[in-house]
Amino acid sequence: MSINPSHSHWDDQAPILYRCDTQTLSNRVIWRFFSIIIFPIVLYELFHRIIGTLVIVASKTPKAECTELRKKITPGKKFQYTRVIIETNGLKIDTVVIKNQKTPFKNRWVVFSGGSGTPYEKFLSDNKFEPLLEELNANGITFNYPGVGRSSGYATRPGMLDALNGVVNWVKEHKGVFIIIGFSIGGGIVSDLPYQEEALRILDRTFADFSNTVATSTNSKLLKIVAIISGWNIRPIASLTNQSPRAIILQSAKDLNHEEISDKSSIVHDTEIHEDDSLAAHFLALKAETQSPHLAIGIKDDHSFGWTEPAGLSRLIKKTINWQ
């Protein structure tokens, strides 16, 4: 289906743009049948979903609130927004495609996977994405996780990965040259994603090990165990091998502004993730033991959505992957 730019779908369910299934319908039906009749499986899935509603705070945002926020989205003169649905493994993922009308690089894309607490409606209504897209001369695409806003399903780790995979596959099918940015828990989901031919991954202000972050922020070893046994222990640090896609790790740091972090002491608490739990800190320890193609970069921003200096981030990206 081609994109027909329209704001007529801002209030209701948008049309299906693309379908991407990594599992056949018959396999999904068979798995659902066995998960229901085998009690431990259905119990585990229920437990995972319950914890998911706590992890993905945005899943508790009322649909009506998302609709009202959507009405506040005001595209800049250079941009054209289209709200669509990407269907993947039975999930309907509420997605916004943002076309940069002025870019000479029509196939250049930025895929954005957001944090746990903010639906895309808030991110876009606060105009957090356009400034970076303008600096990069790129188009953009972002989405709500399952169970958030008008996206169907539940907040589960496999569902979030399916959503990101569906969006990325749409860009690939349109011969897009693209980077993927994952913010906070979105960085964890990006790290779960197998290599997708992207030019670069940006893991933005995220953690090394989710269970450790939970334990530090709540001062509870019990909740660390809950994160592990519920299947929510996302570990981006495990993805940073020499063979993994090239990544830039962004983290709040003192006296650094889009400059490489050479010393762990530069990293600061970003208001959500303790410096010792940050992916950047663990990466520096890993980098000391082996050569790595990845970079840890310090920025001034705390754990708020978006970037206060998109021009600086754009220069860093362009230099890293030779974008004009």
C-alpha span between 277 and 218 (Å, rounded)? 13
At residue 196 the predicted structure's pLDDT band, cuts being 50, 70 and 90, is confident
Has residue 9 been placed in a domain? Answer: no
Q: Is 107 a domain residue?
A: yes
In-domain check, residue 8: no
Residue located via tokens 């090239």? 246
Q: What are the two backbone dihedrals, phi and then psi, of residue 114, each rounded to the nearest 5 degrees?
A: -85, -175
Is the residue at 296 inside a domain?
yes
The verdict on residue 277 lying in a domain is: yes
Q: Is residue 3 part of a domain?
A: no
Q: Report the b/e string of 250-283 with b at 16+ CB within 10 A.
A: bbbbeebebeebeebebbbebebbbbebbbbbbb
The closest alpha carbon to 133, from 111, 156, 165, 158, belongs to: 111
Answer yes or no: is pLDDT of 8 > 50.
Answer: no
pLDDT (average), residues 157-183? 95
Task: Look at residue 217 and tell me if it is in a domain.
Answer: yes
User: Across residues 16-33, what is the average pLDDT?
Assistant: 69
Task: Tell me the pLDDT tens digit for each residue of 39-92.
Answer: 577 788 899 999 999 999 999 999 999 989 998 999 999 999 999 999 999 999
> Whole-angstrom Cα distance, residue 97 to residue 139?
8
Order of strands across the sheet that contains 139-143? 16-19, 79-88, 91-100, 139-143, 108-113, 177-183, 200-204, 247-252, 295-299, 259-260
Percent of the chain exceeding pLDDT 70 equals 90
Return the CATH number at 263.
Answer: 3.40.50.1820
DSSP 45-73: HHHHHHHHHHH-GGGGS-HHHHHHHHHT-
Residue 248 structural domain: 16-321
- pLDDT tens per residue, range 99-122: 999 999 999 999 999 999 999 999
For the cut 60, the answer to whether the pLDDT of residue 2 exceeds it is: no
Using alpha carbons only, give the angle 22, 26, 29 rounded to the nearest 5 degrees: 100
Does residue 270 carry a pLDDT above 80?
yes
Convert the pLDDT of each residue in 211-266 to its tens digit. Answer: 999 999 999 999 999 999 999 999 999 988 766 778 999 999 999 999 999 999 99
Asked if residue 10 belongs to a domain, the reply is no
Would you state the pLDDT for residue 306? 83
Q: Which amino acid is at 236?
A: P
- Number of structural domains in the chain: 1
Please give the angle made by the CA atoms of 97, 101 and 104, to the nearest 5 degrees.
110
